[in-house]
Amino acid sequence: MPDPMFFTTYLLYFGLYDIYYNTDTKLDDLESSEAQKWLVKWILKNILIIAYFRPGLPPQLVINDNTLLIYGSAGLALTTVWIPCVKNSPMLTILLMILHVICFVIGPFNTFRRFLRGGYRQYSRIDLLNYLLLIIGVFGKQSSAHFFNESVTPIDFTESHSKQFTKFLGCCFVPQTAFEFVRVESVLSVIVFRNAIFS
């Protein structure tokens, strides 16, 4: 299983989590009214709905999947980092939030959707099983700890190096604060961008 697909799964998870849980917080920081919040959330949801039900986004003759992943992950990394920096400008923040969702849709969302709709056939069953076990082994426990607000198990340095490394990777992907969330999402975006360019 190639690296872009592995990290795209986590970028998809954190991207959906960010849109679903952190949009209200970002809009509260801007002191938006309820009508403004409703309008921004309506725009973001419609972008996701249109992207899900539109079969060719965009036509394959113009841009291929790898190019979409490159542009989407680059845009995601840039907008993720810039949104906290422009809190004093509500209009710019809202435009960046919309651009963030568009980049998320054309990058990890589109790539993972195509993977589920038949892209997995290019991999052997062994590769798919290894991919699933790697996801569960490296990030499964830590992702559930993040989702259910549980404490993260500290690294035991008496264990083997491979187990220490696995726990270290898992702990890196359990953001607790808004800053850690930005760091994880932007680092994942840069990794996917780099792997998509060199794949």
Q: What is the pLDDT of residues 46-94, one digit of tens each?
A: 887 777 666 555 555 556 667 777 878 888 888 877 777 777 787 888 8
Domains belonging to the chain, first-starting first, are: 3-122+177-198 (1.20.1250)
Pull the structure tokens for residue 138: 């490296």
Q: Tell me which residue has tokens 């079969």.
A: 55
| pLDDT of 1 over the 50 cut | no
pTM (global) more than 0.75: no
In tens, the pLDDT along 18-43 reads 777 777 777 777 777 788 888 888 88
Summarised one tens digit per residue, pLDDT across range 149-158 is: 656 555 555 6
- Backbone phi and psi for residue 121, each to the nearest 5 degrees, phi listed first: -65, -20
